[in-house]
Amino acid sequence: MWRIIQCVGFVAVICSPAVVSVVAETRYTIDQAHSEFVVQLFKAGVGSALAHDHVVRATTFTGEAQIDLATPANGMITVEIQTASLIIDEPAVRQKYGLTSHLSEKDRQQIHETMISTSQLDIAKYPTMTFTSTWIEAQTPVAYAVTGKLTIHGVTQLVTFPARVERRENTLHVTGSFRLKQSSFGYEPYSALFGAVKNQDEVLLHFDILAAS
């Protein structure tokens, strides 16, 4: 009799929703060639008419998601971006985000050198930016709220942002954007001429991710 009870109990555990959720989770790997992370920076200061808005694109990154979209709370998303791979103000990316002013190659190089220097991202000391989710909540069949730990410049902050997720056969297409402040991560935005020309503290991060199982 005890063996029968044990067998019944085992079957009940295997068929429980929690276990079914784990079994149903699928591992997806980010396709770098068909994914994009872009940050928009906005000009400020009394001399802003002489300055430019900027766009920065990450070109080397990895990441994955292990998730069941029907019960996403226990899912996990991780992303790692190599800071040395950041490229600023590519003409095609500027055009995509509606920036019509032209920057010379010399200007781009100077801005890039400032961005990666010890006064800002300090890429020699902090070679990666990372994100690890801690909670994922379904709001509609395609809209999710994602909470997790974002680490930039060696500083970790908890962030929550919306994401639109579409499943197509064995792929996930995830898009969204959210705002964050540079000073929250331990460095100040670019400033020159005693603050007459500078970047706003708040930036806008866009992500467009294709991940395959």
The answer as to whether 10 is a domain residue is no
The answer as to whether 145 is a domain residue is yes
Helix (H) or strand (E) holding 125, with range, is none
Q: 135 lies in which domain range?
A: 28-212
Distance of alpha carbon 40 from alpha carbon 17, whole angstroms: 42
CA diameter of the chain: 85
Stretch 109-125: mean pLDDT: 93
- What are the residue ranges of helices labelled H in 132-211? none
The answer as to whether 8 is a domain residue is no
The answer as to whether 140 is a domain residue is yes
pTM for the structure as a whole:
0.84
Residue 13 has pLDDT above 80, yes or no: no
The answer as to whether 202 is a domain residue is yes
Residue 58 has pLDDT above 80, yes or no: yes
Distance of alpha carbon 49 from alpha carbon 95, whole angstroms: 19
The answer as to whether 17 is a domain residue is no
Stretch 173-198: mean pLDDT: 83
* pLDDT for res 156: 98
Q: CB–CB of 112/171 below 8 Å? A: no
Q: What is the DSSP letter of 183?
A: G
Q: CB–CB of 211/65 below 8 Å? A: yes
- What are the residue ranges of helices labelled H in the chain? 2-14, 17-24, 91-96, 105-116
- CA nearest neighbour of 101 among 48, 52, 142: 52
Q: CB–CB of 6/178 below 8 Å? A: no
The answer as to whether 14 is a domain residue is no
Distance of alpha carbon 68 from alpha carbon 25, whole angstroms: 4
Distance of alpha carbon 53 from alpha carbon 189, whole angstroms: 13
> Domain of 197: which CATH number?
2.40.128.110
Look at the chain and report how many structural domains it folds into. 1
Stretch 162-180: mean pLDDT: 96
Mean confidence (pLDDT) of the chain: 86
Residue 196 has pLDDT above 50, yes or no: no
Which tokens sit at 176?
């969204």
The answer as to whether 21 is a domain residue is no
